[in-house]
Every structure is written in C-alpha cells, then in structure tokens.
Amino acid sequence: MEKTIYLDHAATGPMWPEAVDAMLPFFTERFGNPSGICKPAQDARKSVEEARRKIAQALGSVPPETIYFTGCGTESDNAALTGYVNAVRSAEPGKPVHIVVGMTEHPAVLETARSLEKQGVAVSYAKPDADGVITPESLKAAMRPDTVLVSIMYANNVVGTVQPVAELAAVSHAYGAVFHTDAVQAFGHIPIDPGAEDIDLLSASGHKFGGPKGVGFLYVREGLKLAPILYGGGQERHLRSGTLNVPGIVGMGEAARLSAACMDEAAVRIAGLRDLLEQLVTAKLPDVTINSKTVRRLPGHSSLTIPGVTGENVVLMMNLRGICISAGSACTSGDLKPSHVLTAMGLPEKACYATVRITLGAQTTREEIEAVAQALIEEVTKLRSMNLG
C-alpha cells in the first residue's frame, strides 16, 4: 500500500504486533471451543480466562468475573442499556422506567435509547456545555424519581472531551439509578477505575486500543443483574450466548495489557504531538478554533473548526496527499448531516460543516505531524482562495 499518514485513530487503528502474534495459534492448531471439555477446549478456555484477567487488571484490578466478552463496542452498549432496562422491567412489571443518556453519545447508545423509547421507556437527554462536558448540574436537571439508568460516555469520539465520570456516577446513585459509561474511546488511552469511580456498567471495543475488530467487552459490577439480549447456549454465564471469539479475545486481552503498560508515557507523548499540530496550524491560520481545548481531552484528539472551508473538502484534499483525517461534520460515513455532537455543544451549523477531526496514535511521529500541519495549511489556503468552502 502507498505510504499514508494515518491520523484517524478514533475510527480504528493498527493492532499491536504482539497481540497479532498472540492470536495466530488460535486460528489453527489451538482451535478449541472453550465451552467443551476436551483438551483443545480446555486450552482455549484457559487462554480466554487469561485475557479476562488482563482486561480486569487494566481496569484498576476489578474481579475478572465482572468482564463479559461481546462482539463489539456497539453490542456492549446495547447489552448494557437494553439488558438493564429489561431486567428492571421483568423484576417489577408495570413500573414506569426512565433513562438518561448524553446528547453527545455515540449512535450505539443513542439508537438503543430510541429503540427503548419505542418500547415505552421514557428517555431524557443530558445537555453538554460548549466544551462537550456534561456537568453534574446538567445531569441533575435530567434526572427523575423513576430514572433507573444513566448512560454518559467516558470520552467523546468527535471532540475527545473526557466526562467527570465519578461525579456523574455519584449523581446517578443519589437518584437510585445505575451508571453506564461507553468507554470505547477511552479504555486503553487514559486510566479508568470502575471501583474508584463507582461505575456500574462499562463498554469497550478491542479495535480502539490496538486489538482486533469484532470483539469487545462489558464490565458489569458484581451483583448487578442484566437480562441477556442474545439467547442461545448460555456462554458468558448466561449473559451473552454465542461461541466465544477466542483469537479475538486473546488479541484484545494482550492489547489491553500492552496499552495499560505504556499508557502514561504514550499519553504524554501523543498529547505533546497533538499540541504541536494545533500550534503549527493556528500559527498560520489564526482563525481556526480548537474545540474542547480548555477541558480534559483524550491525548490524541484534535477537533478543528476552520472558517471558510468545509471539513469534507479538507478531508478529500488531504486524502489526495495520502493523509487520512476525518470530517467532524458527519456522524456516520456518507451522512452529510452536521455532527449531533458539535450541534449539541452549540456550534452554529456552518461551523459544524467546517470542522475536521484529527486523531493521533501510538505510532504517530513528529515528522508526520509537521507534514500534516504543512499540508493542512496549504490545502485550506488553496480552498479559501478558490472560494470552494
């Protein structure tokens, strides 16, 4: 493949080579189904449990039994929201059920909430401030006496804003609701400790931290009851049926271990490169705004609003130069609606369309950042001069 500079790590990224190596035998000679009792099955089971321990350790040493393997981050979000609401409804039929989700959630949460709404669940949406932060006050304003669940993402995929999760969990608990967080963008990049932060449910996805695609996990606090959303053989202690994706789980476990081991060093280095990119760009294009700059952000995230151009055009021009970034204007690829995240933060429609997202990864170098800044300045200048927007 032609050399590209890849700065779209929030979408997905390369795997840790060690995690690939760890997976490989499980496609061939170590093929057992971990539900069985024969030797290959036991071998697979042992490796699955080892991966569970690695993930539990990366989450502030929660008990390994609190980790349930799933097929992706989306499934983990669905399982948390639908699973908890259905558990409440079957325990207390007829009880009015209300949930609160953040306005800036990923569609994996928002669409699940909408589906529950169609099934009679009342849903409120907690509003973020101009930096994308959902404050405890904003959450309180959305809470009701019948709120059973709150879902606020740990860190946002568009702007990188990190939420005050421990405080939001405390508000939820004060109202008797459980607290779920979609940590798909955060896990493996910043420290997370469900015990210390009092998180009840947490979703994550392998491919966002150097593991494989098509595998995720759900943390479920000990003692919390969820109804399954998949019915079948009862694997994963009856919460998630389906033959386990052993290679994927092994790769994800190893990626969790490796990410945790170098997290502090990586976060400092990556945030330094991200800040350099923003300095270089704003030095030459002083009217560029950096979204969520003054609040805690993921180390690799940069969301830039560039007046006079459209994010889509910038992304296309950069792509022609072999540079991958993404437009902050689209919430899903091919969707030209302004991002619901930027809209919820109060950006005017024009600014939403003029936004790009640049997300760095562990392999990003200073040379790449300098080249990207230069290319971005040139392409924006060109687009502005052509008045193409």
How many C-beta atoms surround the C-beta of residue 196 within 10 A? 10
Cα–Cα distance measured from residue 321 to residue 222, given in angstroms and rounded to the nearest whole number: 50
Q: Pick the binder of ligand PLP from 47, 66, 74, 235 (CB under 6 A).
A: 74
Question: Which of 13, 32, 34, 73 contacts ligand PLP by CB under 6 A?
Answer: 73
Q: Is 286 exposed, middle or buried (0-12, 13-18, 19+ CB in 10 A)?
A: exposed
Contact region with ligand PLP (CB under 6 A), list: 67-75, 96-104, 320-328, 356-364: 67-75
Instruction: Go through the chain and tell me how many residues it has.
Output: 389
Answer yes or no: are the C-beta atoms of 188 and 58 closer than 8 Å: yes
Nearer to ligand PLP, 206 or 311 (CB): 206
Contact window for ligand PLP (CB under 6 A) among 127-135, 177-185, 223-231, 282-290: 177-185
The residue sitting closest to ligand PLP, measured at its beta carbon, is 73
Q: Which stretch binds ligand PLP (CB under 6 A): 39-47, 66-74, 165-173, 332-340?
A: 66-74
Q: Which residues are 149's β-sheet partners?
A: 99, 178
Which residue, 32 or 128, has its beta carbon nearer to ligand PLP? Answer: 128
Query: CB under 8 Å to 47, separation ≥6 — which residues?
Result: 26, 30, 246, 249, 250
Q: Which is nearer to ligand PLP, 157 or 329 (CB)?
A: 157
Count of beta carbons in the 10 Å neighbourhood of residue 352: 23
Q: Which of residues 90-119 bind ligand PLP (CB under 6 A)?
A: 106, 108
CB of 279 to ligand PLP, least distance (A): 27
Which parts of 132-161 interact with ligand PLP (CB under 6 A)? Answer: 153, 157
Beta strands in 134-188 (DSSP E): 147-151, 178-182
Which range, of 70-78, 271-279, 344-352, 353-361, touches ligand PLP by CB under 6 A?
A: 70-78
CA-based Rg of the chain, rounded to a whole angstrom?
21
Burial state string for 208-243 with b = 16 or more CB within 10 A and e = fewer than 16: bbbbbeebbbbbbbeeeebbbbbeeeebbeebbebe
CA of residue 56 relative to chain centroid, distance: 18
CA 264 to chain centre: 19
Min dist. Cβ of residue 227 to ligand PLP (A): 21
CA distance readout (Å), 358 to 151, 227, 253, 300: 26, 38, 27, 8
Distance separating alpha carbons of residues 58 and 48, to the nearest angstrom:
15
* Cβ closest to ligand PLP, residue 108 vs residue 281: 108
Minimum separation from the CB atom of position 205 to ligand PLP (A): 3
Stretch that binds ligand PLP, among 181-189, 223-231, 270-278, 284-292 (CB under 6 A): 181-189
72 given a catalytic annotation: no
CB 19 within 8 Å of CB 212: yes
Candidate list 121, 184, 314, 354; residue touching ligand PLP; CB under 6 A = 184
Residue window 202-231: x/- pattern of binding to ligand PLP, with contact defined by CB under 6 A: ---x----------x---------------
CB of 331 to ligand PLP, least distance (A): 11
Binding site for ligand PLP (CB under 6 A): 72-74, 77, 106, 108, 153, 157, 182, 184-185, 205, 216
| Residues labelled catalytic | 331
